[in-house]
Structure 1
């Protein structure tokens, strides 16, 4: 694999940039640097390599990390570490391919722009729909996680449907303002709150014992475990979800001062820091909790400590719901306003613009409420997301882009043949996640519904914090 500098030399980035924009994408008439490259563009292109790394970390670190310890419980410590670092390496490569495509098409500011550039209007629509579905399911995951926290703090004092409704209502109201100033300033506090909640969980278990464990209990740890294909695959899906931040990469590149030089550095450190933190978190909590490891992991702590941990992490979960919801609503808003020939009203406080915005936000959060109640189980919702949209946004789309810009040169050299085989394998992996992932996640959910573990079906009042 070539280094970033080598790829810039061998790829006709600067020579072909103008030609690519003129012939590959009729919508790309901006100067090099995309929509942020014109007058005043320097006011938007402000991110250096360190600020980009921090943005990538805050984008990736979230509620996904809370499912990792249970993945290690299911497949064992050594397989868990191997899958974590293997997924980190694969996520680095696909992120690298996004960067290489951006170098050739610097007018792109979203992954949807890349889809249009590579495949025209049809693929733009397909990826756009998948993008909104992914963001809506992210919001549903946040709502389910909030309901688990509410159930834990309130000792299941209300029907879980009601707690999910409260979570969706709070998030919906926060999405009504059309700016993201709050989200932009909340990255560091949210990341700190998640780390603090994890540390509370680990320390409380270390000085006491996991919730539900008997006195004198010793953890039954598995270096390697073989619980069956379905359980193994669901564990892999949870690890995949932890590295799913690729949908935002292009937007970050568009706001960097020098993305060609700095993004690979930030991406590499994201992979190293992310995989290291995830390994520490998963191994630490699993070794302390053993067979009592839960998902989300905060539930393994003694009851009082678990309530404190959920209380600390709730603002971060709400912010995650707000951020994903706002991005999804804004994307649909722009599409609708374009169809209405009202792009000049996007930033204006007119009855039309506010009516469209509130309508989209209302529909978006009603759908999130329905999904949250249809799949009120954290693990199942995480696995279904990984098996559907994340399989492509994190892996498959990057390889499709590689096929697009290397068309006609697949077998030019042994190196190209190797990359061709690699990207065919990645697309195959995405399809495999779609098929086997959906089967394993849905059947696991049905098994939980059929058990006596608290939640016995969709729109259940059962306690989903007891799983």
Structure 2
């Protein structure tokens, strides 16, 4: 990759910094407005330099289809299991509009991440991007939020696996024990260090979740939902009438289904040619996601009506639901793998930079492997604790959306756009996008405030419900739907 300014002159390549003081000086240079406005990425077949293309082994090996599979593993997972219930809350028409609309918005925000990456190809994660626009303090805050957000996502994967194991085994073990098994399994999967490995599980993961959904749909076509009484009359809502709290939580769950943006920059950093291949891979992902989400949500809801559950697999009769949970386990484990790998790699890069050993990042040395394993262990320990502190599937999705997905999928892309276009934000051609990105930032702030209030209120109500089997944190009670 080469940088040319608009006069055709070659711009210097963005450096990789190991020394803290030198990097801060570099951050000042990066913020030079003329470079930010004039730099244009030109694809000449050469990789832009970053720390994953140096050292003992080149990690930049992913092509277009590898990336599409990683993106699918990253996004199509837990979120889809909550969507059918959303139709019972919002109604079919508002829910379909929400799913399609947020899908389009998340495509745009991911595209903005690529635009920022093109200007600064030395970055390897979103925290690096934060440093470009706000220096070390912003990087630290952003990095902490990134880790907490991914811990929530991996915690939700842990909860879902515990639900699956409780359902399959008829609560054969304390729920905390099942959560521990899930965390250990995901920890083992995260030990390989390259995203190329993650790409290899993408296809089996996608097949498993589609197969599980098909089992539920077929079983509901032949038998009534599990919780439906004999001779039940199905009620479908074209337009729902939810309370404010329920409506906000429903939209938050749709946002969770598009929570993949947090890892996109890390995948760009291990692509052979992200400028050329990322947009096609992203487009494949979003079209596939929206179509799959709509089919799953609408069909399961139309078959289950008011007896639709979340996760949706519990809507099926007992035996098909157990089979579906068994088949969907690879997809849930894949969610833990792909998000966990993103967080662990961030911790790994931070640790190696702190030890001034970025030249050993891709080595197979005791130091590099030991650092990776320690980072993986710390991350999955924290994720396990979060999973047991918020052991309700719907609640952990809503809280994660309100706190961090609000920014990582939506708001931060608006901030990046303003950073790239600050000098020309009121130029006639930029005004529409300036408005769009201002609305993205406003959406994130709304989700932070009102969304978090609604999510916490829902969690408290569930804990106070006497019929709820999960009475508090670190539960041994049965969290299955039967």
* Length-normalised TM-score, structure 2: 0.86
Q: Report what 2:448 is aligned to.
A: 434
Alpha-carbon spacing, 1:124–1:456, altered in 2? closer, same or farther (3 Å) = same
Q: Report what 1:368 is aligned to.
A: 383
Q: Report what 1:3 is aligned to.
A: none
Deviation at 1:310, TM superposition (A): 0.6
Q: Distance in 1 between matches of 2:134 and 2:150?
A: 22
Q: Report what 2:432 is aligned to.
A: 418
The range that moved more, 372-381 or 248-257, is 248-257
Q: Distance in 2 between matches of 1:197 and 1:142?
A: 16
Q: Report what 2:331 is aligned to.
A: 316
Deviation at 1:329, TM superposition (A): 2.0
Deviation at 1:20, TM superposition (A): 8.4
Q: Report what 2:185 is aligned to.
A: 170
CA contact (8 A) 1:12 1:104 kept: no
Deviation at 1:105, TM superposition (A): 2.5
> Secondary structure at 1:157's aligned position in 2?
coil
> Secondary structure at 1:100's aligned position in 2?
helix
Deviation at 1:462, TM superposition (A): 2.1
> Secondary structure at 1:466's aligned position in 2?
coil
Alpha-carbon spacing, 1:454–1:180, altered in 2? closer, same or farther (3 Å) = same
Q: Report what 1:80 is aligned to.
A: 95
1:18 aligned onto 2:11? yes
Deviation at 1:175, TM superposition (A): 3.5
Equivalent residue in structure 1 for 2:205, among 165, 190, 203:
190
Q: Equivalent residues in 2 for 1:29-178 (5 A)?
A: 33-35=48-50, 44=60, 47-48=63-64, 50-176=65-191, 178=193
CA contact (8 A) 2:195 2:270 kept: no
CA contact (8 A) 1:374 1:459 kept: yes
> Secondary structure at 1:249's aligned position in 2?
helix
Q: Report what 1:207 is aligned to.
A: 222
Over the residues paired in the alignment, what is the CA RMSD in angstroms? 2.9
Q: Report what 1:4 is aligned to.
A: none
CA contact (8 A) 2:56 2:363 kept: no
Q: Distance in 1 between matches of 2:8 and 2:280?
A: 23
Equivalent residue in structure 2 for 1:235, among 242, 246, 250:
250
1:301 aligned onto 2:316? yes
Deviation at 1:258, TM superposition (A): 4.7
CA contact (8 A) 1:32 1:107 kept: no
Q: Distance in 2 between matches of 1:439 and 1:409?
A: 37
Equivalent residue in structure 1 for 2:351, among 336, 355, 359:
336
Deviation at 1:305, TM superposition (A): 0.4
Q: Deviations over 1:44-84 (max 9, x none)?
A: 35513x55444433322112111111111111100100111
CA contact (8 A) 1:47 1:255 kept: no
1:446 aligned onto 2:460? yes
- Gaps of at least 5 residues in structure 1 are 1-10
1:407 aligned onto 2:422? yes
Q: Distance in 2 between matches of 1:237 and 1:412?
A: 34
1:277 aligned onto 2:292? yes
Deviation at 1:294, TM superposition (A): 0.9
Q: Distance in 2 between matches of 1:257 and 1:178?
A: 17
Alpha-carbon spacing, 1:262–1:355, altered in 2? closer, same or farther (3 Å) = closer
Alpha-carbon spacing, 1:344–1:266, altered in 2? closer, same or farther (3 Å) = closer
Deviation at 1:39, TM superposition (A): 11
Q: Deviations over 1:101-143 (max 9, x none)?
A: 2232233332222222222222222222222112211211110
Q: Deviations over 1:294-349 (max 9, x none)?
A: 11110111100010001111122123213322332232122123212344554556
The range that moved more, 425-434 or 12-21, is 12-21
CA contact (8 A) 1:17 1:106 kept: no
Q: Deviations over 1:181-235 (max 9, x none)?
A: 6533111001100000000011001111111212222321111111201001111
1:221 aligned onto 2:236? yes
Alpha-carbon spacing, 1:269–1:361, altered in 2? closer, same or farther (3 Å) = closer
Q: Distance in 1 between matches of 2:62 and 2:327?
A: 32
- For these two proteins, the number of residue pairs brought into alignment is 453
Alpha-carbon spacing, 1:330–1:257, altered in 2? closer, same or farther (3 Å) = closer
* Length-normalised TM-score, structure 1: 0.88
Q: Distance in 1 between matches of 2:357 and 2:221?
A: 58
Deviation at 1:169, TM superposition (A): 2.5
Q: Deviations over 1:149-177 (max 9, x none)?
A: 01111112222122212212222344345
CA contact (8 A) 2:53 2:59 kept: no
Q: Deviations over 1:393-444 (max 9, x none)?
A: 101111111111111212122x322222221111011011111111111110
Alpha-carbon spacing, 1:13–1:244, altered in 2? closer, same or farther (3 Å) = farther
CA contact (8 A) 2:59 2:270 kept: no
